[in-house]
Amino acid sequence: MNRKSWLQSLAEDATPAIDECIEQLGETFPLLDQFKLTEQDPQWHAEGDVHIHTGMVLDELYQLLENEANHIQGAHRQALVLGALLHDIAKPLTTRRKEVRGVERVVATRHEAMGRSYIAHRLLNLELSMTVVDLVMGLVGEHHMPKLLVIKQMERGEYWKLARKASMELLYWLEVADMRGRICEDLNQQIDLLEQFKMFSEEYGVWATHQPLEHLRQEIKPHIKDLRADVQDMIFARTMRDFEEGDISTVEEGIARTYSLRDGFSEVYVLYGPSGSGKSSWIKQFDAECEVISLDELRKEINGDRANQSNISQILTVARERLKAHLRAKKKIIWDATNLREDFRQRICRIAFDYHAFVTLVVFHKSERQLFADNKSRPYSVPENVLQDQLDHLEWPVPEEAHRYWVVDNSGKVIKQSGGFND
């Protein structure tokens, strides 16, 4: 069976064992071949290595899909199977031994977030819809959160925040399979935490939807319906963020916080994308009124060559000062850089937040294959080893990093919007 047909079978009734999955997808995700070499902590995973565990998770998931979860079909079934296969994909990168309270343990810190980053551009090499890609990334990147939200007794806002990144129901079923697909002493306690997660998700209105804020949109609509579209987006996004952070408890509080901004505010667009992802082309067609702060152009201005990486501190200082000047003038600004690291993005977002700007994170999502092809045809291409290093070390952005979150596809079209009233 060719790969396209095999992937389609996952949306129907296929139940491939882990070795068959690796045979089909090992070339796309080479870390799958390292599962057998990746140990796990025996207290939580007495069954053995990551290969054994993932195989057990798949088997448990197929049982669920035949019984309690048999309503999950089509694209959601396909995403759930792929999510189960890939949920621990970054453990080969993150697993190490660490002494905890005098006992040597096996840990894999942040393997969830690193897993999402690892698969982000590689998933697009496959014959999958963007809906499925989005769902799989959510499952891999957030599969640790259901139990954590319950253990930490998190409030409504954290459930809203999670529901913008992942399907709560699919997360639940993945984690039921994840728990059953291991040997540990506290299995019943772990399953109970998941049942509480389901109960709270239903209570907060995010169980059956991947767009959890529609009720907030309807509640705020009468208050802002006569305002300009950009002002509507700003008020809604800031109110949503305040709710998620637990800073407000009513829509009226959120609206009151925006009155001083209605006569004028800056807009900042922080771009994310590896070299060759289409950022420059998008800028040209987006908004001619935007002030563009390009680190490439600053390197050319200061170093005489946009490829010269020296004087980075001076370049960043100049860039930030220009950003602050534009913010004081309440202009529209594009921060044009790869911004592959979260801390780089957050430094810019924090400055913008301090000036009460409306911040949009613009995420350019191309396949790994397309990135290499397009890089070759760029006027200013980077060496292939540099692009590969970018893909190996990028940190995929998530919605809560900014007020608003856009995903741009291979053609430069915004295909996903989160956070704005008019999205």
Tell me the residue length of the chain: 423
For residue 308, the model assigns a pLDDT of 75
Handedness of CA 29, 30, 36, 42 (dihedral sign): negative
State pTM to two decimals. Answer: 0.95
Those residues with Cβ within 8 angstroms of residue 201's Cβ, 6 or more apart along the chain or in another chain: 159, 163, 168, 169, 172, 207
Provide the CB-side half-sphere exposure for 413 (13 A, CA): 3
For residue 212, the model assigns a pLDDT of 61
Q: Are 244 and 225 in contact (CB under 8 A)?
A: no
For residue 247, the model assigns a pLDDT of 92
For residue 185, the model assigns a pLDDT of 85
Give, for all 423 residues of the chain, the pLDDT tens digit. 899 999 999 999 999 999 999 999 999 999 999 999 999 999 889 999 999 999 999 999 999 999 999 999 999 999 999 999 999 999 999 999 998 888 899 999 999 999 999 999 999 999 999 999 999 999 999 999 999 999 999 999 999 999 999 999 999 999 999 999 999 888 899 999 999 999 999 999 899 865 667 888 889 999 999 999 999 999 999 999 998 888 998 899 999 999 999 889 999 999 999 998 999 999 999 988 899 999 999 999 998 887 778 888 999 999 999 999 999 999 999 999 999 999 999 999 999 999 999 999 999 999 999 999 999 888 888 899 999 999 999 999 999 999 999 999 988 999 999 888 887
Residue owning tokens 């771009």: 271
Closest CA to 402 of 240, 274, 252: 240
Those residues with Cβ within 8 angstroms of residue 175's Cβ, 6 or more apart along the chain or in another chain: 143, 146, 147, 194, 197
- Measured CA to CA, the distance from residue 273 to residue 344 in angstroms comes to 13
